[in-house]
Homo-oligomer: A and B are copies of this chain.
Amino acid sequence: METKSILIDNVTIISSEIKKGSVVIENDKIMEITEKTGQKDADYIIDGEKNMLMPGLVNTHTHLSMTLLRGLADDLPLDTWLNDHIWPVEAHLKGEYCYAGALLACIEMIKSGTTTFNDMYFFMDDVAKAVDKSGIRGMLSHGMIDLSDEEKRKAEFKETLRIIEKCHDTAEGRIKVAFGPHAPYTCSEELLKGVRKKADKMGLKIHIHVGETEFEVEQVTEAHGSRPFEYLDEIGFLADDVIAAHAVWLSDKEIEIIKERGVNLSHNPASNMKLASGISPVSELIDNNVNVSIGTDGAASNNNLDMIEEMKLTALLQKVNTMDSTVLPAQKVFEMATINGAKALGLQGEIGTIEVGKKADLVLLDMKTPHLAPFRHPISHLVYAAKGSDADTVICNGEILMQNKELEVVNEAEVMKLAQDAAEELTSKS
Binding site for B on A (CB under 8 A): 67-68, 70-72, 74-78, 81, 104, 107-108, 111-112, 270, 272-279, 299, 302-306, 309, 312-313, 315-317, 319-320, 322-326, 328-330, 368, 370-377, 380-381, 384-385, 387-390, 412-413, 415-416, 419-420, 423-424
Q: When the two chains form their complex, are residues A416 and B325 in contact, meaning their CB atoms are under 8 A apart?
A: no
Residues of B within 8 A of A108 (CB): 370-371
Q: When the two chains form their complex, are residues A371 and B306 in contact, meaning their CB atoms are under 8 A apart?
A: yes
Q: When the two chains form their complex, are residues B420 and A303 in contact, meaning their CB atoms are under 8 A apart?
A: no
Q: When the two chains form their complex, are residues B319 and A274 in contact, meaning their CB atoms are under 8 A apart?
A: yes
Q: When the two chains form their complex, are residues B306 and A368 in contact, meaning their CB atoms are under 8 A apart?
A: no
Q: When the two chains form their complex, are residues B374 and A424 in contact, meaning their CB atoms are under 8 A apart?
A: yes
Q: When the two chains form their complex, are residues B326 and A75 in contact, meaning their CB atoms are under 8 A apart?
A: yes
Q: Identify 17 new A-B residue pairs, CB closer than 8 A, beyond the known A67-B373, A71-B376, A274-B325.
A: A67-B374, A68-B374, A70-B381, A74-B330, A76-B326, A270-B316, A273-B320, A274-B319, A303-B384, A304-B384, A304-B387, A370-B416, A371-B388, A374-B423, A375-B420, A387-B389, A389-B390
Most buried by B among A303, A309, A374: A374
Residue of B nearest to A70 (CB): B385
A394 to chain B minimum Cβ distance, whole angstroms, is 13
Residue of B nearest to A309 (CB): B309
Q: When the two chains form their complex, are residues A387 and B306 in contact, meaning their CB atoms are under 8 A apart?
A: yes
Residue of B nearest to A386 (CB): B304
A-B contact pairs, 20 of them (CB 8 A): A70-B372, A71-B381, A71-B384, A72-B376, A76-B325, A77-B325, A108-B370, A112-B371, A276-B319, A276-B320, A299-B385, A302-B384, A304-B385, A309-B309, A317-B320, A368-B413, A370-B412, A373-B419, A374-B420, A387-B389
Which 4 pairs, one residue from A and one from B, show the smallest C-beta to C-beta distance? A273-B316, A374-B423, A75-B329, A389-B389
Q: When the two chains form their complex, are residues B320 and A279 in contact, meaning their CB atoms are under 8 A apart?
A: yes
Residue of B nearest to A378 (CB): B71
A342 to chain B minimum Cβ distance, whole angstroms, is 23
Residue of B nearest to A107 (CB): B370
Residues of B within 8 A of A368 (CB): 413, 416
Q: When the two chains form their complex, are residues A104 and B370 in contact, meaning their CB atoms are under 8 A apart?
A: yes
A414 to chain B minimum Cβ distance, whole angstroms, is 12
Residue of B nearest to A213 (CB): B323
Q: Give which listed residue, B71, B272, B273, contacts A377 with CB less than 8 A.
A: B71
Q: When the two chains form their complex, are residues A373 and B325 in contact, meaning their CB atoms are under 8 A apart?
A: no
A59 to chain B minimum Cβ distance, whole angstroms, is 13
Q: When the two chains form their complex, are residues A323 and B276 in contact, meaning their CB atoms are under 8 A apart?
A: yes
Residues of B within 8 A of A272 (CB): 320
Residues of B within 8 A of A424 (CB): 374
Q: Please, how many angstroms separate the alpha-carbon atoms of A380 and B304 in the complex?
A: 11
Q: Please, how many angstroms separate the alpha-carbon atoms of A298 and B355 in the complex?
A: 36
A330 to chain B minimum Cβ distance, whole angstroms, is 6
A121 to chain B minimum Cβ distance, whole angstroms, is 17
Q: Give which listed residue, B279, B325, B390, contacts A78 with CB less than 8 A.
A: B325
A142 to chain B minimum Cβ distance, whole angstroms, is 24
Most buried by B among A326, A330, A419: A326
Q: When the two chains form their complex, are residues B374 and A419 in contact, meaning their CB atoms are under 8 A apart?
A: yes
Q: Give which listed residue, B278, B312, B329, B385, contacts A320 with CB less than 8 A.
A: B278
Residues of B within 8 A of A279 (CB): 320
Q: When the two chains form their complex, are residues B319 and A273 in contact, meaning their CB atoms are under 8 A apart?
A: yes
Q: When the two chains form their complex, are residues B78 and A376 in contact, meaning their CB atoms are under 8 A apart?
A: no
Residues of B within 8 A of A319 (CB): 273-276
Q: When the two chains form their complex, are residues A104 and B278 in contact, meaning their CB atoms are under 8 A apart?
A: no
Q: Please, how many angstroms separate the alpha-carbon atoms of A389 and B385 in the complex?
A: 12
A367 to chain B minimum Cβ distance, whole angstroms, is 10
Residue of B nearest to A376 (CB): B71
Residues of B within 8 A of A416 (CB): 368, 370, 373
Q: When the two chains form their complex, are residues B306 and A275 in contact, meaning their CB atoms are under 8 A apart?
A: no
Residues of B within 8 A of A278 (CB): 320, 323
Residue of B nearest to A416 (CB): B373
